[in-house]
Amino acid sequence: MALLEHIDDPSQIRGYDVAQLRQLCSELRDYIVKCCSENPGHIGASLGAVEIAVALHKVFNTPADKIVWDVGHQAYAHKILTGRREAFRKNRKIDGISGFPRRDESPYDSFGTGHSSTSISAALGMAVASKLSGDKHHSIAVIGDGAMTGGLAFEGLNNAGALNADLLVILNDNQISIDRNTGALHKYLVRVATSRHYNNLKNKIWNRIGASRFRDFLQTMFRNAKHTVRKGDGSSSLFEALGMRYFGPIDGNDIEILTDTLVRLKEIPGPKLLHVITVKGKGYKPAEENQTIWHAPGKFDSRTGERTTSKKSVSKYQEVFGNTLLELARKNGTIVGITPAMASGCSMDIMMREMPERVFDVGIAEQHAVTFSAGLAADGLLPFCNIYSSFSQRAFDSIIHDVALQGLKVILCLDRGGIVGEDGATHHGAFDMAACRVIPNLTIAAPSDELELRNMMYSATLPQYRATIIRYPRGYGQGVKWKDESFTFIEEGRAVKVTDGEDVAVLSVGTVKHSVAEAVRKAGEKGKKVLHYDMRFVKPLDTDAVDYACSRTSRIITVEDGAVTGGLHAAVAEYVTGKGYNCTVTALGIPDRFVEQGTPEQLYAECGFSEEDILSAILS
């Protein structure tokens, strides 16, 4: 008999035996694969974490006991088990459920986790709150080995050990985040997981432990285990040095072992870490064999695993970035590339394949990526640091203190700027221009097409430019020819006049230029004479262009795929007001609220800067 279709609440599985739990895990995998084949999502991580979700809801009294998933990519089984089975069919759709845990979506989602490395700090806060309030509940953080490289995770571990809070951290170790993991922690976990001495003793422990006198026996044996690891391979226990009692590694895809272990650990107070080994994409052969692609594969045939690929001949912006960076690096030996675990996502892997010694994947550590880049610049190199716009928020202090304040030339390329689509509020690149516009010694540029991105990257390497942010959107470009084109210098802070007119002026920045141009053309057919500037730079602002616009018309419209509060609109309005011009400045862009998931086209319309909205504003 099928089990999953009858589960509306995780309490229903608490009486299941091992055979039923295994069947449930199999049904969950089939359901995730079927749903994600038709409605794309992050499939690989969730397939690997099915047993973790089932075991946690089997052993713990959720939602009274708190589970924090880090990141939400691995939480699909959790969502399906907690009353959202049917809603999962509209996962990541407009008006559907989020692709990540959200506090306002379900009481089982104890903390919103769209960005990585937050779970330990959040779960620790819950553990301390439980202690202070006398409300006895368990707090569990489920964190991947990729997310564990983030500095915030170590800050949480350090504090947890000092506070001696009742916290369980489950380290879901599958050797990969999106790309293969790198760094010393990754090597350490591999060493622990493959230690012959440690695993021999660990097997003896788990085979001999009984329910009675469990705690004393376990403490004694694990002291011996720690000594054996040190003696056997020269490694010390990183986690125990931070005050966390370490258990594992165990097979995280064996539901019987995992459930039994959690039952036992549930009775042990204080901060503890369970190291589980899982397989990303577990149970679906295509996802197991190509884990990077199957992190988020798009649509596919669930029976064959054949992916539905786009037939577009247009390049993606990330491809323009990756190929241009390699071309520039071939000509300039000081250029180096830095990415926080997004080598394939931003296409820096193109340069990595040819020049591996000049590309650095620093793991999921955006703040470190920027300060590391500043250190490279301080010693004469020219770093291109590529970070997804939404993730760059975590490096804001480093951009101010370590780059701009010291006048160091770092070229920050922010991929996924603006509305990104189905990943929703945690991933839209809404705030980069607005946040960074307040920082001195910094240029902020937004190309309108592929060729302009290429030329901005080239121009930023020249002495005329200081530290520079170049932000561009996710996905495909405009189809503009860029390959093998000669580089052209773009003057810093110089706008381009697209059309002239006196009825209304439209100042746009970034790729929305093309929607504006089409709206201007249609307005012209209705007799409106529109002045249109592609501003190209939010900082420095081309004040000559704004002066000209104010001399021609009393109506200015700004359009940007970014937050209007603090972005291009704010820059123009501040200047117009300061000069005392008799002009109104109307803002079109991302409004002062968090925008949920949906297709980019749906969200442009919802935010009010679709082509139709721009035309309406011009004609109003």
Residue 104 C-beta-side C-alpha neighbours within 13 Å: 3
Q: Domains (ranges, CATH) in the chain? A: 4-195+235-295 (3.40.50.970), 317-471 (3.40.50.970), 496-619 (3.40.50.920)
Of residues 586 and 196, more confidently modeled = 586
* Active site residues per annotation: 280, 366, 394
Strand partners, 143: 70, 171
Element (H, E) at 557: strand 555-563
* pTM tops 0.85, yes or no: yes
Each residue's pLDDT tens digit, 203-254 = 554 455 444 444 454 444 444 444 444 434 433 478 888 889 999 899 999 9
Please, is 113 exposed, middle or buried when counting C-beta atoms within 10 Å of its C-beta (0-12, 13-18, 19+)?
Answer: buried
SS3 (DSSP) at 501: coil
Q: What are the strands, taking DSSP E only, across 376-486?
A: 382-388, 411-415, 443-445, 468-471
- Give the pair of three-digit tokens for residue 293: 């692609």
Structural contact between residues 234 and 152, judged by C-beta atoms closer than 8 angstroms? no
In angstroms, the CA 288 to CA 176 distance is: 12
Residue 72 binned pLDDT confidence (cut-offs 50, 70, 90): confident
Mean pLDDT, range 400-417, rounded to an integer: 98
SS3 (DSSP) at 469: strand
Q: What percent of the chain has pLDDT over 90?
A: 84
Mean pLDDT, range 453-471, rounded to an integer: 98
The confidence score (pLDDT) of residue 465 equals 98
Mean pLDDT, range 175-198, rounded to an integer: 56
In angstroms, the CA 451 to CA 458 distance is: 11
The mean predicted confidence, pLDDT, of the chain is 91
Mean pLDDT, range 308-334, rounded to an integer: 93
The confidence score (pLDDT) of residue 234 equals 39
Each residue's pLDDT tens digit, 586-617 = 999 999 999 999 999 999 999 999 999 999 99
Asked which of 223-232, 292-301, 468-477 is least confident by mean pLDDT, the reply is 223-232
In angstroms, the CA 85 to CA 65 distance is: 21
In angstroms, the CA 532 to CA 510 distance is: 13
Mean pLDDT, range 42-64, rounded to an integer: 96
DSSP 32-83: HHHHHHHS---HHHHHHTHHHHHHHHHHS-TTTSEEEEESGGG-HHHHHHTT
Residue 192 has pLDDT above 70, yes or no: no
The confidence score (pLDDT) of residue 214 equals 47
Amino acid sitting at position 550: C
Structural contact between residues 441 and 504, judged by C-beta atoms closer than 8 angstroms? no
Residue 178 has pLDDT above 70, yes or no: no
Each residue's pLDDT tens digit, 498-534 = 999 999 999 999 999 999 999 999 999 999 999 999 9
Mean pLDDT, range 413-442, rounded to an integer: 97
Task: State CA 213 to chain mean position distance.
Answer: 44
Query: 338 CB contacts (<8 Å, ≥6 apart)?
Result: 359, 360, 362, 369, 372, 373, 376, 383, 384, 385, 386
